[in-house]
Amino acid sequence: MVQSKRETVHDTTKWRFAVNVGFFAGLLWGGVKIVEHYFHFTTLSPGFLIEPFYLHSFLSTWQGMLAGWLAFIVFSIVSALIYSVLLAKARGPWCGIWYGLAWWAVIFLILGPVTGTTKWIAYMDLNTVLTDLCLFLLWGLFIGYSITFEFTDERVREPYPGNKIPEPD
């Protein structure tokens, strides 16, 4: 069977797809980070990832928040590329949730206190810890499940207009 030009199937490029997922994860969840900071759910500024490179007074301005948002987008793109290399064939949402938890642990328990991007977790208030934990869990779920859904047979289970649900007897 010969396919016309309009019917050709386009395979998804893993790298381009991961960059897109990372960009939108950073855009969406970085925006949520700004909102949670605005409503004082967390004491960490949206630019906490770039705290060692800029003064805290700059990160409190709208330009600093924008720089922090852009840093979160770049961080999300890199993280999505890493996920697509390591876990693209994982099934279900749990790998993405664990991936977000792993990044939270690396940032808040290891790298953050050492580099000065975050305080030691014992010195943070509970609202900040829980809010950012939930943010990273949802961020990891977004990245993980988006990539998993594209590169496994999960999309085969999705209904399409040709599928008819059988009527019960």
39-48, 59-68, 157-166: range with lowest mean pLDDT: 157-166
User: For the chain, what are the domain ranges?
Assistant: 13-152
Q: How far is CA 145 from CA 21, 56, 71, 132, in A?
A: 10, 34, 22, 19
The pLDDT value given to residue 92: 82
Q: pLDDT-based confidence at 166, cuts 50/70/90? A: low
Q: What is the pTM of this model?
A: 0.81
> Which one is predicted more confidently, 128 or 167?
128
Q: Got the DSSP string for 15-34? A: HHHHHHHHHHHHHHHHHHHH
Q: How far is CA 166 from CA 102, 157, 163, 169, in A?
A: 42, 15, 9, 9
Q: pLDDT-based confidence at 12, cuts 50/70/90? A: low
pLDDT higher than threshold 70 for residue 97? yes
Q: Please provide the average confidence, as pLDDT, over all residues in the chain.
A: 86
The pLDDT value given to residue 8: 45
pLDDT higher than threshold 50 for residue 9? no
Q: pLDDT-based confidence at 106, cuts 50/70/90? A: very high
pLDDT higher than threshold 80 for residue 11? no
